[in-house]
Structure formats: structure tokens, C-alpha cells
Amino acid sequence: MADAISLLRPHTVVGPSLKAAGQWALRFDRFLHVRIGGLVSGTCWLTVEGHEPVFLREGDTFMLGNPPPYVLAGTLDASPRPAEPVLASAEDGIVRIGPDSEEDLYLCVGHIAFDDRNAPLLTDLLPPLVIVRVDDPHGRRLAQLIDLLATEITVHAAGGPLVQNHLAQILLVHMLRAHAAQTDRPTGWLGALNEDGIGSALRAVHADMARSWSLKELAEISNMSRSAFAHAFKSHVGIPPLEYLIQWRMNLARDALARDTQSISELARATGYLSESAFSTAFRRVVGSSPAQFRNQVKGQPAHPAAEEP
């Protein structure tokens, strides 16, 4: 997970938070990549387009992955208005709807944008909506993190933005853990981490990406036969183990080439290839261009997409 998040180069925009009372509803447009929110107090309805409305209570946390438009509302019969102009009226990081003395809802949110080149590593694994209830095994810790984030937004202490960004990324990790634990369907590498044998092989690969791993070695780490390991790995991750290894090496290579941190020969050795030509052949097969062409194409491009306000 740490390797994936490092490749994603997360960029966080926290807030504005929402305090609302009475009849209210806000419609949010489609956005990239992940939004995380939690209820510090009160209740509300969350309706993602194409899905049934979900009722959220104090302490509940939600994560939206590349979702279609959605609505947050105090009641289902309230008429939604566009969220953007309302959010633009924020003062000190907070938007207020209704009288201050009747604040029924306090919602804290953060938007996390990723490097577009590697964003599918995570966003392809996520459903549009993940809900973690406060009484879920992970729920109390997430609620505490939301409370800390809400406090940081209002105290205006030194280093506040740095603390907010780190808290939002910690929230992301805990939401991913909760999602991996609560789902009963394969979720790529994220779900495979919870499988003892497959997870052990994945951790070994990521700990030593320069090693020339064989299917036999990975199967032994997983305490399985080669055929059983290959079948289980593909079932959980979606691709065969050695193909996964190649794909991940190329993800590392794209990131290093985009940042121009290593020569091509150094990168070949770091990703387990005995020669620059073998590395270049694999890179061209996966990416569609040579390493040198890719590096030249991405020079001068921004590392992150423009982050939208939540």
C-alpha cells in the first residue's frame, strides 16, 4: 500500500467543511480522483447518481472514488442547488447553511488528487462509494481522525495546512484498509494484501523489486504449489503473478522517468533487468514507447492534475 500511494503522488485539498441546518441540499459535479468525508456531528443523506440514498450519522465516514455527480442533503425532499457557488462563500474554511445557532450538521471533507499516469492503480479498484459506519471495527478510528481534521481547520495553528494534508492521507490509508476488510469480492492488489499467502508474495516482491523473481520462489513464499499460487493470485489480483511484476516495474519506471531521477541503465538494474535493452523491450511492450521517448514526452508536464475544490 505504501508503494502504491508513493507512486500516486497524492495532492490534498482539505475543506471547506460544511455546517448546515434546516432544509438544504447541495449537488456536486463529477470529479477526480478520491474524496473522503466524515460527520463530526448531525446526520445527512448522501445520494450518488445511479445508487440508492444512504443515510449518514455522526461518526460515519465515506469515500468517493471517481464518482458520478452526487447530492448531500439534510432531507430527501429538499431541492438540490449547485454546490460550487455555495462552497465559494466559505469563511475560515467553513460554509454555513442556515442560522449559526441551529447547526444540525458538521461535515468535514478532503479531496485527494493523484498523478494521472498512475491514478488507475487505485481508482480502478474502488467503487463509487465506500461507507464505514462508526460502529465498524475501523469506524471509531476514522471518526477520531475526522475530529482531528475538523479541529485543525478551525484552530489556525502554525503548520496547520501540513497537518491537514497528512491527516487526509492517513484517512485515505484507513479507508482503504476498511474497504479491503469489508468487501467480499476480489479488489486487485488491495484485496490480495488480506490473503496470507498471496499477501506474503506481494510484500516480498515490493520489498525487492530488483530481484529476478520466479514463479517457483513466489509460490514457496506463499506456501503453495506453483499451479495453486498462480490460480489464487490471478483470482485475487486479476492478472498472473509475473505479469503483475512486469506491470508494477513499469509503473515504477514511468514514475522515475517522469521525475528524471535515474538514468535508463540505472533504472533497468533497479527494476530487475540484466540489461538496458531487455528493460527497454519490456517497457515498450507495456507502455508503447521507448523509455527515452517517454521521458522526453513527459518533460515539462505537471506532476498533478489541477485539484478541484471539494
pLDDT digits (tens, 9 = 90+) for 155-179: 777 777 788 888 888 888 888 888 7
Q: In the prediction, which pLDDT does 281 show?
A: 92
- Distance CA(35)–CA(128), nearest Å, equals 10
Q: In the prediction, which pLDDT does 71 show?
A: 94
pLDDT in tens, 97-123: 987 766 788 999 888 888 777 777 677
186: pLDDT strictly greater than 70: no
Q: In the prediction, which pLDDT does 308 show?
A: 38
More confident residue, 24 or 122: 24
pLDDT in tens, 223-232: 989 999 898 8
- The β-bridge relationship of strands 11-14 and 105-113 is antiparallel
Q: How far is CA 261 from CA 18, 116, 257, 266, in A?
A: 41, 19, 7, 10
Task: Please give the domain boundaries of the chain with CATH numbers for all domains.
Answer: 2-183 (2.60.120.280), 190-298 (1.10.10.60)
Q: In the prediction, which pLDDT does 187 show?
A: 56
Q: How far is CA 271 from CA 212, 255, 265, in A?
A: 9, 12, 10
303: pLDDT strictly greater than 50: no
Using an 8 Å Cβ cutoff, are 140 and 52 in contact? no
Segment 281-293 shows an average pLDDT of 90
Q: 101: which DSSP letter?
A: G
Using an 8 Å Cβ cutoff, are 63 and 36 in contact? yes
Cβ-in-10-Å burial (0-12, 13-18, 19+) of 276 comes to middle
131: pLDDT strictly greater than 80: yes
Tell me the percentage of the chain whose pLDDT exceeds 90. 24
Q: In the prediction, which pLDDT does 76 show?
A: 92
Q: What is the CA radius of gyration of the chain?
A: 22
